[in-house]
Amino acid sequence: MKQPRLKARDKDTIIQALNAGVVPRLGLQHVQVGRAGEVQALVRDIERVADGGAAFRLVIGEYGSGKTFFLNLIRLVALERKLVVASADLGPDRRLHATGGQARSLYAELTRNLSTRTKPNGGALASIVERFVADAHKSATAGGQSVEDEIDQRLAPLQDLVSGYDFTSAVAAYWRASDAADDEQRAAALRWLRGEFGTKTEARQALNVRSIIDDSNIYDYLKLMAGFVRIAGYGGLLVTIDEMVNLYKLQSTQARSANFEQLLRMLNDVLQGNNGHLGFVLGGTPEFLMDTRRGLYSYEALQSRLAENRFATDGLVDMSGPVLRLQSLTQEELFVLLGRIRSIFALGDPAAYLVPDDAFAVFMEHCSKRIGEAYFRTPRTTIKAFVNLLSVIEQNPGAQWQDLLGYIEIEHDRPDDELVESNSEDDELTSFKL
């Protein structure tokens, strides 16, 4: 990957995000350290999608191993390759399959976050639809036929897919509304495409479209969306879903199975070559994958397909399977990462480095003394502390980094969800035994 120049406003975005302990939306390529094999595997996936193929990856890593970071990086690569990316986190109210609107809500979230290279922060649905409509309009006037005919003709390949007719109708409705400068209708068409209509009656009244996107068919609509963005001139659609662990947390066996079944459908479609221009990258923790009671391995059909290459252990990796495991950062990788953060502060200019190389080791040592071994397993806190240190030096040019070390606060990082709570229960149990 070529190294693009770093812009001052990107610097601020990255530093603010790192400071807040979240993954920056922009400029990830400046922070990425190591993981060349993993990145390459996914870049190949993206290229396959752009060439008309399909991809399915489970990115599995421990808490703090950088899954979200990795997914975001992949997202950016995909955008750069002219793919459209839809991303969302699963949650209690967002699932792959549901009966109470949670699946539709996931779809709505995915389409709201639809991004293109020119709109990397989501909200690109209107742009994509308008670009398509404007193009159709242009060639319709050039070819002397009506715009609606042109739209129908262009979207004809979608008609073969499930619900293709309704999808086409919604796009045509968008055109009619734009032509008539009817903002309300236009918003309604977009709402329909985003899956925001709750009932069919509502949709029929607003748009004269008979069906809606609901819990049972979101995967079909993702396929349609992939076909659509392709026709609109993009490379394809990449769907990234994080926090898959929420499926593992589902209490009802039936609900879990229904969701896993959707995953199986996706995986099967990919393995059998039924999809084109569509890729899935899903992030989850090891227990989500391997727990034989509630994880993916509890679902026999998935387990056999996801079983790992048993020769790829002890440092050997096989990245051709659907499961991609992220290991936590090593000390050395952390060292390099600190270097890259320093470089971001200096906008890539070595003359402007705020601290010398020696500072890294001292800093790491300091962190490890303060919070123990966890400091490099969950690099978040270390990075945050380091960013704080550099910010202070940047604002107080006279300050010596050695003097400041003692004042830098380093918090213990802990997962803030219920998993940890259950762990701590275990701890109590242990102490009870004692």
Partner 1 sequence: MAAVSSQSTASMASQQNFIAGVSVVALGWIFRRKQTPLQGDSRKDSHQAALDPRDRRRSRGVKWIAPGERVDIAGHTISAGMLYVGRARSSDRQWRSTIDPSLEVARHNADIHGELMSYWPSYATLAPRSRLAYLQWLAGGRSDPSVGVGLAFLFFYGLEKRLFADKAHGEIVMLIAEVERLRELFAHNRSFRRYSGHFLDAARAIQALAANSGTVDEPPSQSQDVDWELPLTLRLALGRRLAAGEALTADWMLTWYLAHPETRLRTPASRAFPLFCDLFRLRFKAAYPDGLLISPPKPKLNYEYRAASGDFTSTISADSPDIINLRQPIRVATTLAESCADELAGYSRLIGKNPDVAHGLEAISLLPKDLREHSMREAGADLTRWLESTVGDTIGVAKGSELLTRLELELDNAVRIPKKLVRTMSSILEALGYGMEPDPRYGGPSPKSEEPVVLFKTPKNGGGASGHAYTSAMATLAIAAGVAHADGVIVDQEIGQLVNSVQDNLHLTASERRRLSALATWLLLVPPPFAQLKKHLSGISEDSRHRLARFALATAAADDRIDASEVKLLERFYKLLDFEPNALYSDLHALEGDDAAIQDEPITVRPATADARKHRIPTEPGAERAGPIMLNHERIERVRRETEVVATVLSDIFAEPADSEPDLAPEVGADKPAAFDGLDRRHTAFVDELLRLESWPRTDFEALCRSLQLLPDGAIETVNEWSFERFDAALIDDGDPLVIQYDVLPDEAREAAA
Does position 143 interact with partner 1 (CB under 8 A)? The reply is yes
CA distance 386 to 339: 10
Question: Cα–Cα distance between 189 and 207 in angstroms, integer?
Answer: 7
Q: How far is CA 402 from CA 9, 82, 295, 406, in A?
A: 29, 46, 47, 8
Q: Looking only at Cα atoms, what is the longest distance across the chain?
A: 85
Terminal alpha carbon distance of the chain: 54
> 158-167 burial, b if ≥16 CB within 10 A, otherwise e?
beeeebbbbb
| Residue 133 near partner 1 by CB under 8 A | yes
- With vertex at residue 326, the alpha carbon angle to CA 324 and CA 332, rounded to the nearest 5 degrees, is 145
Contact between 346 and partner 1 (CB under 8 A)? no
Segment interacting with partner 1, rule: CB under 8 A, options 111-119, 236-244, 311-319, 386-394: 111-119
Contacting range for partner 1; rule: CB under 8 A; set: 29-37, 65-73, 124-132, 146-154: 124-132
Regarding 23 and contact with partner 1 (CB under 8 A), the answer is no
Shortest Cβ distance from residue 2 to partner 1 (Å)?
10
Instruction: Find how far residue 289's CA is from the centre of its chain.
Output: 18
Smallest separation, CB 49 to partner 1 (Å): 19
Please give the residues from 171 up to 210 whose contact with partner 1 meets the rule CB under 8 A.
178, 181
CB of 142 to partner 1, least distance (A): 6
Q: In this chain, which stretch among 43-51, 136-144, 280-288, 319-327 interacts with partner 1, using CB under 8 A?
A: 136-144
Q: How far is the CB of 223 from partner 1 (least distance, A)?
A: 23
- The C-alpha angle with vertex 412 and arms to 406 and 414, in degrees rounded to 5, equals 165
- Residue 62: count other Cβ atoms within 10 Å of its Cβ: 17
> How far apart (Å, rounded) are the C-alpha atoms in residues 375 and 365?
10
Q: Which of 121/431 has CB closer to partner 1?
A: 121
Q: Which listed residue (3, 92, 144, 311) binds partner 1 by CB under 8 A?
A: 144
Strands 278-284 and 237-242: parallel
Q: Which helix (H) or strand (E) holds 241?
A: strand 237-242
- Pick the closer one to partner 1 by CB: 11 or 104: 11
Task: Tell me how far, at minimum, the Cβ of 148 lies from partner 1, in Å.
Answer: 16
The 3-22 site mask, x for binding partner 1 (CB under 8 A), equals -x------------------
Q: How far is the CB of 128 from partner 1 (least distance, A)?
A: 7
Report phi then psi at 70, rounded to 5: -65, -45
Closest CB to partner 1 among residues 9, 210: 9
Please report whether residue 138 would count as binding partner 1 according to CB under 8 A: yes
Q: Is 116 in the site for partner 1 (CB under 8 A)?
A: yes
Q: CB 141 → partner 1: shortest distance, Å?
A: 8
**Going by C-beta distance under 8 Å and a sequence separation of 6 or more, which residues neighbour residue 315?**
none
240 binds partner 1 (CB under 8 A): no
Tell me whether residue 406 is exposed, middle or buried, using C-beta atoms within 10 angstroms of its C-beta: 0 to 12, 13 to 18, 19 or more: exposed
For residue 349, the tally of other CB atoms under 10 A from its CB is 10
Query: x/- site string to partner 1, residues 393 to 432, per CB under 8 A?
Result: ----------------------------------------
Compute the least distance from the CB of residue 352 to partner 1, in Å: 20
Query: What is the contact surface with partner 1 in residues (CB under 8 A)?
Result: 4, 116-119, 124, 126-134, 138, 141-144, 178, 181
